[in-house]
Structure 1
Amino acid sequence: MKVLVLGSGGREHALCWKIAKSNKVSKIYCAPGNGGTAEIAENIDINVDEIDNLLQFALKNNIDLTVVGPEQPLVLGIVDKFQENGLRIFGVNKECARLEGSKEFSKEFMEKYNVPTAKYRAFTVLEEAIEGIKEFSYPLVIKADGLCAGKGVIICYSEDEAKKTLKDILGNKIFGEEGNKVVIEEFLDGIETSLLCVVTKGKIIPMESAKDYKKIYEDDKGSNTGGVGCISPSPIFNEELSKKIEENILKNIRYGLDKEDLDFRGILFIGLMIVNGDPKVLEFNTRFGDPETEVLIPRLDSDIVDLFEKTIDGSFMESDLKWNNNRAITVVLTSGGYPEKYEKGFKITGIDDVDKDTIVFHNGTKMINKDLVTNGGRVLSVVSLGKTIEDTRDKVYNDIEKIKFSNIYYRKDIGKF
């Protein structure tokens, strides 16, 4: 079968890497792809928001299965469009994608169906939002309502900082139309962790757990990023926590999806904060996470194409998920200055020198005149697997030292806590 993967990051490289291991697949395309996907797929120069062009490509090339990586095409309704034209596509429809596309919609859903989450208020008018912050103590969290590539969440530690953030989003439109509305939330102080679930036909089946590192600097300091490291499994997951998540969160989400008549078929990413042992939901994403995918996919022993097809058909069962017992860690190599200003176009060397069982997924790279160069803030995700997280840490950092490009930066404490 012929498979089309949409996206250009480490998540999509990891998906292509796993799809290539399926005996069912004869050809992989990736749109638009990157320097890493080019080694296992044919990159297609179509951006993920060019829905009509992607549709025409899939029809013309007799694509048997399309796999959507990022959130933007889901929110734009690519799944609905492909299905209307008789194409099989893995991802949620436009209505379900609102759980990620609108912070207010997702918070309303959580509140309505008793999914534990932070107290919140939503505003569209700057003056009303400034008045609204009086209902919260500090620190508090301000979120742009729409999609902001992981950068629309700001933790404010003072009234001055909160007012400035509201003026930036609602007044100065730093996130454009995605910031026409803001959600102000209470700050949850605890341990953050991630749970990705396969959802289909009333079933929510958890995958293995993962812990993402969002802050750019060590000891969780500095600006929020799209994620600069990840480990799996999350060290805080145990039977007691899993039971609480099932009883207090997953059961209520299932009920809510059913009551709202949301035909959710795809991945539900649940961002969790564990506060004094109790799980609360920070956010929903309606697709594979990045960098969570880079640590989960190498631990998945099942054929991922089976996962995609059975989810689409509604026949997916918990027994279809088979995992190995390895610990996995990924450290994201970034361009200096990310997540603010950074430069592109630096030559990358040393990838061929890493150990053969270390995996290097490409986040932001491209080929120019046979040279691999940086092409984004997050450049590479270096992944190691092992029996203990300590051995895996040593292994990944030893291999990272072999990789070189100008202005390289990465955290040295991924997997320490």
Structure 2
Amino acid sequence: MRILIIGSGGREHALAAVIAKSKKATELFCIGHNAGIASLTTMVSIPLCDHNGIAEFAVQHAIEFAVIGPDEALVGGLADVLEAQGIPCFGPTKVASQLEGSKSYAKAFMVRNHIPTPSYEVFTDIVTAREHLSRSSFPLVVKADGLALGKGVVIAETIEEAEEALQAMMVEKVFASSGQTVVIEEFVSGPEVSLLVLSDGTHVKPLVSCMDHKRAFDGDQGPNTGGMGVIAPNPFYSEQVAAECMESIVLPTIAALKRDGSPFVGCLFFGLMLTSGGPVVIEYNCRFGDPEAEVALTLLEGDALEILLSCRNGTLDRVPVVSRKESACSVTLASGGYPVRYEKGKVITISDLPQNTTVYHGGTTYDEQGNLVTDGGRVLHVVGTGDTLAKAIHVAYKAVDAVTYEGKQYRRDIGKRALQEEEHGSSCIHNP
């Protein structure tokens, strides 16, 4: 089969790596620029926003299946455009993608369908939003309604911090039109779980549970980022919790989308929080998470392309979806200054990687001299695996030491909390 992958970050490198192993894959193309993906596919330079251009390329090159990675392409309706041209897609429609494209839409969807989520209010006027803050207790959460590269969420400890967030989103427009509407949400606490669930519109099969590390610096300090590392499986996500989440959250979500006439085909990401009162949905994403995809796909057994095709063809129930009984740890190597300001073009050297490691490229390219160089905020995702989480973390950080470039920035505590949970257990998990 001739496969087209849309997107060129770490998530798409992981997708390309597992798809390339399939006996069904005869030729791979990828939209974007990424030095790692270029070793597996033919890279094509078309802007992600040029949906008609991507569709034209797909038709001209007889693409038989397209896998869409980035949120902006899905929310913008690329799957609809490609399907209209006869190109089968792994990825939801524009309507179904609004679960990620608009937080206010998603919150209303959850309330309407009795899916547990923190209470909230929606504002399009900063004066009204400030009045709401004056009546609120803290902490609370301020969210830009639209897409914001994983950075549009502020946990405000004080009214001053909340007002600063409103000013940045609604007046200074740091997230452009995504911040014209804001959601102010009740603050809840508990272990967080990233759950990737494959769906063919009717049937669902979860991948391994993950624990993301969003903050830029050790100890969960600093601004939110697209993700500085992740481990899997998540030790807080026990079989009992998983069963409860499937019954009260996952299945009702998929059923409601189908009932609304927009069945979800693709990977639906559930951002969960395990509160003392039970699991709640913090957010939906309409695609593989990044960096969650890097560990989930690394641990996935079987033919990944066959699994993705079964989602599009409505036959997911007939295909086994199994993850290896191992642990994985991914450490994100970022450019110095990320997520605020950072430089590109720093020469990368990778030498003597240990066994059981994989390096996925997030933002890399080659310079005129043929050197591998940085080309984004999140540069590389270094994944280690092992039969225990401790071993996976150890080998991942050994691999981190094998990578050098000027300004290399990373967290040194990825998986620390998960290790503590494995060692001591937790008293904050809800028992239904």
TM-score range, shorter chain: over 0.9
Query: How far did 1:135 drift?
Result: 4.3
Q: What percentage of residue pairs aligned between the two structures are identical?
A: 39
What residue in structure 1 maps to residue 412 of structure 2? 412
Amino acid aligned to 1:90 = F
User: Residues 207 and 318 of structure 1: is their aligned pair in 2 closer, same or farther, counting only changes over 3 Å?
Assistant: farther
Q: Retained in 2: the 8 A contact 1:156–1:162?
A: yes
What residue in structure 2 maps to residue 354 of structure 1? 353
Query: How far did 1:277 drift?
Result: 6.5
What residue in structure 1 maps to residue 187 of structure 2? 187
Structure-2-length-normalised TM-score: 0.94
Amino acid aligned to 1:155 = I
Query: How far did 1:262 drift?
Result: 1.7
Q: Retained in 2: the 8 A contact 1:209–1:233?
A: yes
Hey, which bits of structure 1, 4+ residues long, moved more than 6 A? Answer: none
Amino acid aligned to 2:335 = S
Query: How far did 1:356 drift?
Result: 4.5
What residue in structure 1 maps to residue 422 of structure 2? none
Counterparts of 1:366-377 in structure 2, within 5 Å, are 366-369=365-368, 370-377=370-377
Please give the root-mean-square deviation of Cα atoms over the aligned residues, in Å. 1.2
Runs of 5+ consecutive residues of structure 1 not aligned to the other structure: none
What residue in structure 2 maps to residue 330 of structure 1? 330
Amino acid aligned to 1:304 = A
Query: How far did 1:253 drift?
Result: 1.4
Q: Name the SS for the 2:349 alignment partner.
A: coil
Mapped to 2, the partners of 1:144 and 1:329 lie a distance apart of 30
Amino acid aligned to 1:219 = G
Counterparts of 1:250-261 in structure 2, within 5 Å, are 250-261=250-261
Mapped to 2, the partners of 1:406 and 1:30 lie a distance apart of 28
- Paired positions, count: 416
Q: Retained in 2: the 8 A contact 1:294–1:330?
A: yes
Query: How far did 1:157 drift?
Result: 1.1
Q: Name the SS for the 2:345 alignment partner.
A: coil
Q: Retained in 1: the 8 A contact 2:122–2:184?
A: yes
Q: Retained in 1: the 8 A contact 2:328–2:385?
A: yes
Q: Name the SS for the 2:5 alignment partner.
A: strand
Mapped to 1, the partners of 2:203 and 2:135 lie a distance apart of 38
Mapped to 2, the partners of 1:135 and 1:289 lie a distance apart of 35
Counterparts of 1:220-369 in structure 2, within 5 Å, are 220-276=220-276, 278-317=278-317, 320-350=320-350, 352-369=351-368
The C-alpha deviation readout for 1:322-376, integer Å capped at 9, x for no partner, is 22111111000011111111111100002x4212431000001111131110011
Mapped to 2, the partners of 1:85 and 1:334 lie a distance apart of 38
Q: Retained in 2: the 8 A contact 1:241–1:277?
A: no
Mapped to 2, the partners of 1:65 and 1:319 lie a distance apart of 18
Q: Name the SS for the 2:122 alignment partner.
A: strand
What residue in structure 1 maps to residue 207 of structure 2? 207
Amino acid aligned to 1:210 = C
Query: How far did 1:318 drift?
Result: 7.0
Query: How far did 1:304 drift?
Result: 1.1
- Greater Cα offset, 251-260 or 391-400: 251-260
Q: Retained in 2: the 8 A contact 1:205–1:318?
A: no
Amino acid aligned to 2:83 = Q
What residue in structure 2 maps to residue 102 of structure 1? 102
Query: How far did 1:248 drift?
Result: 1.6
Mapped to 2, the partners of 1:156 and 1:74 lie a distance apart of 30
Q: Retained in 2: the 8 A contact 1:335–1:376?
A: yes
Mapped to 1, the partners of 2:373 and 2:207 lie a distance apart of 34
Mapped to 1, the partners of 2:196 and 2:51 lie a distance apart of 26
Structure-1-length-normalised TM-score: 0.97
Runs of 5+ consecutive residues of structure 2 not aligned to the other structure: 418-432
Q: Name the SS for the 1:95 alignment partner.
A: coil
The C-alpha deviation readout for 1:38-92, integer Å capped at 9, x for no partner, is 1111111112211111111101111111100111111111111111111111100
Q: Retained in 2: the 8 A contact 1:12–1:33?
A: no
